[in-house]
Structures are given as structure tokens and as C-alpha cells.
Structure 1
Amino acid sequence: MLPSVSSIFSRLRFRQLRLLIALGEQGSLIKAAEQVSISQPGATKALQEIETTLGAPLFVRTNRGLEANELGHCAIRYAKLIQTDLTHLREEMLGILQGHGGRLSIGVIMGAVPFMSDALTRLLEAHPDLSVEIVEDTSARLLSLLDQGRLDLAICRTSISRQPEQYDCIDVRDETLAVVANRNHPLAGSAQLELADLADSRWVVYSANMPMRLSLEHEFQQAGLRFPLHLLETTSAFTTLSLLQKNVDLVALLSTDVARFCTGFGMTCILPLSLKSRSEPYQLITRRGVSLSSISRLFMAQLTSAQDEH
């Protein structure tokens, strides 16, 4: 049986975590000991302490040295996360001491990236020394990172959560949708299209049960059309654009903001198809009951002012 969290927390030391990371990088106890500036006997003892603290062996000795087992890879990955968090802690404390708030971690779904970028640009103009981490992912993944404390705030949707009451939310922007394609798509020059004109096309779409995908399924249902069978599913804007660039027959559903951005740079064209559905609005989401840093509050103010402008 693995030890309790309180037991691990009371016994694990930061130098042991440094050794874990070094062992993962070097695969040798001698080289890892050199990297963290301790003696080989000291490294041997520290590794024994780590394995005792975690209640399981983490490495297998081979002819090539020490090789992490599955639990070892898990422990090394979390040791690196702790090291990263400590780095971020120092950055944020330094920023607070210097008066600019330090560091901000933002989660954002693809469709809200242009909207978020506008607000962040204004914030950086006022706080040029600010360090920012931006994580683009699905709402489910972003809420998970928010729950873990790895994001200060997220621009996504709580409707996918089983416990939406855990969050404080502000609707910040309605999402409208557009159908995009390669500029050389056979229907790119059309004056007006109906959904039936694209019913036999291969679509690049979000995964099932995601708000944008549900909106497209609703459009097909309302038009009395069968939803396309041979889909390309992705949550990546870059993957979507790359696929459209390589195949002139593909079409994709994007937020209007992203579609206009891509079309403005000549990467795609917006097909003249009027969609009746509206996806759920983007929400500015924070963890309920958690105190926000001053820089988080400043970013929220920028975002909500951008909402008022639109």
C-alpha cells in the first residue's frame, strides 16, 4: 500500500526531487550525483529514501545503468512539475516585489484566442515585464487545470462540467460560427450557399459532444440532412488550417473571430453559408473561493472592457 499524502509530504525533500530529475536525464547514479553535486554514497542513500517515502521501487538496474520503471517515470514527471511550480513561484514573488504582478497563467479555447489576445496585448502594454503562460485546449481540460491550480483563470465553458457550481463565471462574448475552406475550394466563389451544398463534403470538426460540434449537428438536423460520416476530428486550430491548406475539398467549422483572422492573412476563405445556430458564449472562469492575484484582476478588467466594446 502506498503511503498517505501527509506521510509523503513530511518526508520528501527538494534535493531528492532534484536527484530524481537528474536520474531521469542521466540514467546513471554516478552522473546524476555529479549533476546535483552530491557524493555517490549520498545519491544511493537519497534514492533509497525516495523509494521508501513513496513506498515502491522506481528504477531497475540494467547493464546501461538505472532505468526508470512505470512508477519511476510517473515520479520523475511530477518532480519536474514541482520544479516548474517553484520556478513560477519565484517569478511571481519577484514580480510582486517589483510592482508588476509577476506571472499570469491563462487557459483559452480555440475560438476565444483572438478575443483573449486583444485583452492580453493591452495588459502587456501597461505591464511589459509580465510573464504569461497561455494554454489552448478544450474546456474539459482547461477546467481540470484550473481545479489543479495550474491556471489562474480560463476562457472556456462550464457547461461540460458535472460541478459547474465550483466556479465563478462571467459571460464575456457570444460565439458565432463560420464555415471556412481552402481559397481554391470549388465553392469558394459562390454568392450564396445552403448547407445541402456541403452535405457530401468532408468536414474538419471538434470531437463529439463539444459545443461547436453540437451546433453543427443541430444545423444538419434542422435542415433535414444526415450528418457527415467521414469526419476529421481535432481541437487544434493549427491542425485544422494545415488540413485545409493541403486539401482543397475540405471544409471546417470555426468561430467567426478565428475564421476572420485566418482569412485576413490569406490562409482560408469564409464560405457564404449562413448558420442559424449560435454556440454557447465564452465565459471568464475562476475557481470559486480562491483569491486572485492583482494581475489576474487586471486581466479580467481588460477582458470585460473588451466585452463592453463589442
Structure 2
Amino acid sequence: MIPPLQSIISRLHVKQLRLLVALGEHGSLLKASQQVALTQPGASKALQEIETTFGTPLFVRTNRGLEPNAVGHCVIRYAHLIQTDLAHLREEIVGVLRGQGGRVAAGVIMGAVPLLTNAVSVLVGRQPDLSVEIVEDTSAALLAQIDAGRLDLAICRTSITQAPQVYDSVRLQEETLAVIANVGHPLRRAKKVTLHELAPYRWVMYRANMPMRVLLEGEFRNCGIRFPQHLLETTSAFATLALLQANPSFVALVSIEVAQFFAHHEMSCILPLALTSQSEPYELVTRKGAPAQPAAKLLIDELLSRRS
């Protein structure tokens, strides 16, 4: 039986986490003990204490050394995360003590990537010591990371959650959508295209229930056209671009900012399809009532200055 959380917290030490990471890297108690400056008997005792703390074996003893079992892999992964968080904590403290710099973790949905990266570029130009982590994902995944304290802020949408009231959100910018394709697409030189013309092509888009996908489904429904059955689904801007590059017949629905970025660099073209539906705006989302640390406040202020 796994012990209660408070029992684990009270018994687990940072040096034990370092030992777990070292064991995951080396699979050898001797090499791991040397890495964390313990004697081999001391490392063996520490491992026994760790396994007692979690109430279950974490490694399988083989003639090749120690191999983590399923629970061991899980614990090692979280040990890595805790070490990384401590490194980020130190980095942020250094920035605060210097009166500048620090670290901020920001999430963003695909369509708003240019909005965030432009703000970050300006901000780090003013604050060279600032470190920024950018996580691109769906709104649902980003809100989950805000809940877990992994992100300081996110540009996404709270409409996808059943509890939007648990977040502080500010409307940032309206989203305009565009259809893009390979620069060699058969319709690249058309002055105007219709959804009837594009329907037979293979579409790259977000998965079901995402706002952008729901909007496109509505467009097909309003035109009396059957929605494509065989889709290529991704939340990644790079995967979208790679798919368009791989096949000149593919088309994708993205934000106009992403479309213009790709077109400007001649990586794709924008097809002249007029959409009738209005997309949901981007929101700047933070944890409800949570005070923004200095580095996050700088990025929030920069984003708010770009509101339209």
C-alpha cells in the first residue's frame, strides 16, 4: 500500500532524488553513488529508505545492475522534474536579487504563437537576463499545466473548460482563420475558392471539439457539405507545415498570423477562401488570484500592451 502524501513528503530528501536520477542514468549502484558523493553502502541504504518511503520496490536487481520497474520509471521521471524545478527556482531567485531577469513559463495555442513570440522577442531585448519557456499545446492541456503550477500564464481559451471561473482571463485579440496549402497546390493561383472546391482535399486540423475544428465543421454544415472523414490531426504548427511540405494536395486551417508567417517565408500559400463564421478570441489566462512573479508580470504587461 502506498503511504499517504504527507508521509512521503516528510521522509523524502533532495539527495535521495539525486540518487534516483543517477540510478536511472547509470543502472549501477556504484556509479550512482560516486555521482552523488556517497559510499556504495550508503547509497544502498538510501535506496532502501526510498523504497520504504514509497512502499514498493522501484528497481529489479539483475546481473547487469539495477533496472527500474514501471513504478521506478515513474518515480525517476518525477525526480527529474523536481530537480528541474529547483534549478528554475534558483534561477528566478538570482534574477529577483539582481533586480532583473528571472524566469517565466508561458503556454500558447498554435494560432497565437506569433503573438507570444513577438512579445517575448521585444521583452528579452529589454531584459537580456530573462529566461522564457514556451509550451505549445491545446487550451485544455495548457489549462491543466496552469492548474499544476507548471505555467505562469497561457494564451488560450477558457471556453473549453467547465470551470472557467477558476482562472483570471483577459481578452487579448480576435482570431481570424485562413486556409493554407503547399506553394505548389493546384488552387494556389485561384482568385477565389469555395469550400465545395476544397472539400475533396486532405485536411490538416485540430482534433475534435477544439474551437477551430468546431468552426470548420460549422462551415461545412452551413454549406451542406459532408465533413471530411479522413483527417490529419495535429496541434503542432511545425507538424502542420511539414505535412503541407510533404504533399502539395494537403490544406490546413490555421490562424491568419500563422498563415502570414508561413507565406512571408514562402513556406506555404494562403488560399482565398472566405469563411463566414467568427472564431473565439485569444485570452491571456493565469491562475485565479495568484500573484504574478516579476518575470511573468513583465511578459503579461507586454502582451496586454498589444491588445486589439
TM-score interval for Structure 1 and Structure 2 normalised by the shorter chain: over 0.9
Q: Mark the runs of 5 or more structure 2 residues left unpaired by the alignment.
A: none
* Residue type at the aligned position of 2:289: G
- For the Cα contact (< 8 Å) 1:105–1:150, is it kept in 2? yes
Q: CA deviation at 1:118?
A: 1.8
- Distance, in Å, in 2 between the alignment partners of 1:196 and 1:11 is 64
Aligned runs of 1:32-47 on 2, under 5 Å?
Answer: 32-47=32-47
Distance in 2 (alpha carbons) for counterparts of 1:117 and 1:66:
43
The correspondence of residues 55-66 of structure 1 with structure 2, limited to 5 A, is 55-66=55-66
Q: CA RMSD in A?
A: 0.8
| Equivalent residues of 1:110, 1:237 under 8 A apart | yes
Measure, in 2, the Cα distance between the counterparts of 1:234 and 1:35. Answer: 41
2:134 matches 1:137: no
Deviation of 1:166 (Å): 0.8
Deviation at 1:162, TM superposition (A): 2.2
What is the distance in 2 between the residues matched to 1:45 and 1:121?
Answer: 49
Identify the residue that residue 121 of structure 2 maps to in structure 1.
121
Q: For residues 157 and 141 of structure 1, what CA distance do their matches in structure 2 show?
A: 11
Residues 1-310 of structure 1: matches in 2 within 5 Å? 1-307=1-307, 310=308
Structure-1 separation of matches of 2:120 and 2:287: 20
The CA deviation at 1:156 is: 0.4
Checking the alignment, whether the CA contact within 8 Å between 2:101 and 2:131 is kept in structure 1 is no
Q: Distance between the aligned counterparts of 2:134 and 2:194, measured in 1?
A: 37
**Structure 2 counterpart of 1:53, which letter?**
T
Maintained 8 Å contact 2:109/2:139: yes
Instruction: State how far apart, in whole Å, the 1-side matches of 2:87 and 2:294 are.
Output: 19
Q: Secondary structure at the match of 2:305?
A: helix
Letter in 2 for 1:194: T
1:55 is aligned with what amino acid? G
**Shift of the alpha carbon at 1:101?**
4.1
What do residues 106-151 of structure 1 show as CA deviations (whole Å, max 9, x unaligned)? 0011100111122212211211110111111111111111111111
Post-superposition shift, 1:35? 1.0
SS at match of 1:175: coil
By how many angstroms is 1:295 displaced? 2.1
Secondary structure at the counterpart of residue 122 of structure 2: helix
CA separation in 2, counterparts of 1:163 and 1:64? 50
- Taking the aligned partners of 1:279 and 1:49, their CA distance within structure 2 comes to 54
Q: Which amino acid aligns with 1:100?
A: Q
SS of equivalent residue, structure 1 residue 186: coil
Residue 105 (structure 1) shift:
0.6
How many residues align structurally?
308
Runs of 4 or more, structure 1, over 2 Å off, are none
| Distance apart, 1:65 and its partner CA | 0.6
Distance apart, 1:278 and its partner CA: 2.1
Encode CA deviations 1:67-99: one digit per residue, 9 max, x unaligned: 000000000000000000000000000000111
> Alpha-carbon deviations, 1:281-309, whole Å to 9, x = none?
110000002111122222111111111xx
What letter matches 1:192 in structure 2?
A: K
What secondary structure sits across from 1:159 in the alignment?
coil
* Local SS of the residue matching 1:279: coil
**1:243 partner amino acid:** L
Question: Contact 1:105–1:132 (CA<8 Å) still a contact in 2?
Answer: yes
Consecutive unaligned residues of structure 1, counting only runs of 5 or more, are none
TM-score by length of 1: 0.98
Contact persistence 1:101–1:293 (CA under 8 A):
no
**Counterpart amino acid of 1:9?**
I
